[in-house]
Structure formats: structure tokens, C-alpha cells
Structure 1
Amino acid sequence: MRNTQLQIDYQICSFEELALADQKLVEAAKAACLTSYAPYSHFSVGAAAALDNGEIVCGSNQENAAYPSGTCAERCTVFYANARYPEAAVTTLAIAARTEDGSYTANPITPCGACRQVLLETEHRYGKAMRILLYGSHHTYVIASCSQLLPFQFSSDSCGW
């Protein structure tokens, strides 16, 4: 038996250090937090997707009393983008979150496991890397590909398809 190690590369930067297009996308994700329906967790998450056709699509988490019938902001956004623009790949996805007091989280939040799987499937569907911007008011993470978030992947390759 041998030990091995996995490592991901990502950048940490301030909002001001982001390219203007990335700043715009983060601002769209922050604005999407305001459309969240989160009466149970009081944790509003917004996401904004930049598509390769130039469009920006936004979504937010939508909770339901019958857990887990709600949906996360990331899946809401990506599924809407895929339905509205089925030929357009998501090139970058920005994610932001607000707490009950209305402030944005100091540290970036990351997608849940289900969202990571959906993001990975979307990346595979279009054959293009999907950059991820995880916003926090203190710093932002920039990840070159959503596959970095799910190093042991389950995909069509796993099934032999």
C-alpha cells in the first residue's frame, strides 16, 4: 500500500483584484441573493453564470418546508441557463451568500456536494472548463475549473458511457 496526495490550485484575492468582468459577475451573484426564498435557514445564496454567448443568468436558493424539496442557488442558476440557452456553455459561475443580518459572508462559501456534481456534469456536457468565483467580503477564491471541487468524480466515464 502506498500513500498519495491530492492538491488543488486556486487563487485568493480581494474583490478589487478581480477583472472587471468577474467583478460584474460577482455583483450579479450578490444581487441574486436578494431574490432568495430562505425562511427556514435565513441564509440567502445567489449565483450568476456567464455564458459563452455573452449572456449572464442568475439564480438563488429556494427553500421549502418539505426539506429537501428546495434547491440551491448553483443548481437553480445552471439548470435555468441550460434550459434557456441549451447550446451555450457556462464559462464562469460566481457564488455569494448573505446571512440573516443582511451582511455578505466574510469568507467564501462553497457549493454542496449535489451542486458540485451538477456543475461537473455541466462542465462535461459542454467540454469546457467552468471557472468558479467564490465571493466573501474579506476575500474571493478563484478556481480554474469546477472539477477541482470534486477530485474523485462520478461521471459518464465512471459508467463506461
Structure 2
Amino acid sequence: MSEVSDEDLFAAAEAIRQKAHVPYSHFAVGAAILADDGQIYAGCNIENAAYPQGNCAEASAISAMIAAGAKRILRIYVTGPGHQPVTPCGGCRQRIREFAEPDAAIISHGVEGKPLHATLAELLPHSFGPDYLNG
């Protein structure tokens, strides 16, 4: 298996971001996951006229990963417009926690600025995860 670079993840996130369905916010987001099977799984945000029914890019990428049979997130790269890093929302941070260790790398990038490199634990400190329930 060849090494997957951050550049590979960035390219996958940007490619899928172009397919985002964002007729309301016009804020397209892409996410690319490096999973435990060595593959990249990507997803984009999908808005809905009934706003709460939309999907975040991270949730879409996690769905693709699980559907393909992978189980764990090793690294995730999130891209969006602007200069500020586009970090996962609170709900997606918890979704990522379900499938990633606290030290998993999360790269957040507003593509006109510099990427922010953080761990899941830095973005979601003192998190509640599956290990609490597997007693």
C-alpha cells in the first residue's frame, strides 16, 4: 500500500467539493478521509430546503467509508472557501469521534488561507466516545 499524503487528501476533498449541493448558503465543503483500509473516502455537503435535513461533508465521507466496509478514520482533510480554516461543526466532531482515536489528525482548510493541523482531541476536548459504552 502506498503512502497517502495530505496533498492526496486535499485533492480528493477539493474534487468532491466541486460537486456540493449548496443552493442556499453557497458555502461548498469537501471532506476526504484516509481510512484504516488505506483508501480515501470523500464527501461533500448537501443542502436541503428543509435546512436541518442537509448533510455535512464529513458525514457524507463517513457514510461512504462505512458503506465500503472500512471501520476507522486515520486522518481527515476538510476544505471550504475563504481564508479561515473550515473546521468540522460540533455534530461532525462527534461523528468523527465515533470512528477515530483522539489523536487522529484533522486538517481544516479555507483554501485561500493556510491549513490548520489539529488532533480530534484538540477540536473536541474531553469527548464522550464509544469506549465509554464498551465497558
- TM surpasses 0.5: yes
Partner amino acid, structure 2, of 1:92 = R
Cα distance between partner residues in 2 of 1:65 and 1:57: 26
Change in 2 beyond 3 A, CA 1:156/1:22: closer
The match for 1:70 is 54
Q: Pick one of 68, 73, 90 that aligns with 1:113.
A: 90
Cα distance between partner residues in 2 of 1:122 and 1:129: 12
Structure showing the higher strand proportion among its residues: 2
Q: Pick one of 90, 99, 103 that aligns with 1:122.
A: 99
Residue 67 of structure 2 corresponds to residue 92 of structure 1: no
Cα distance between partner residues in 2 of 1:91 and 1:138: 24
State how 1:42-81 maps to structure 2 within 5 Å.
Answer: 42-81=26-65
Change in 2 beyond 3 A, CA 1:156/1:64: same
Structure with bigger gyration radius: 1
Cα distance between partner residues in 1 of 2:116 and 2:20: 22
Cα distance between partner residues in 1 of 2:68 and 2:130: 24
SS in 2 for 1:147: helix
The match for 1:139 is 114
TM superposition score normalised by structure 1: 0.73
Cα distance between partner residues in 2 of 1:160 and 1:23: 36
**Which structure 2 segments of 5+ residues have no match?**
none
SS in 1 for 2:127: coil
Higher relative contact order (CA 8 A, sep 6+): 1
Query: Post-superposition shift, 1:25?
Result: 0.8
Cα distance between partner residues in 1 of 2:73 and 2:133: 24
After superposition, give the CA deviation of every residue in 1:14-62 in whole Å (9 maximum; x if it has no partner). Answer: xxxxxx8111211211111111000011100000111232211110000
User: Contact (CA 8 Å) 2:93, 2:124: kept in 1 or not?
Assistant: yes
User: Contact (CA 8 Å) 2:73, 2:96: kept in 1 or not?
Assistant: no
**More deviation in 62-71 or 115-124?**
115-124
The match for 2:13 is 29
Number of corresponding residues:
132
Name segments (4+ residues, structure 1) moved above 3 Å.
156-161
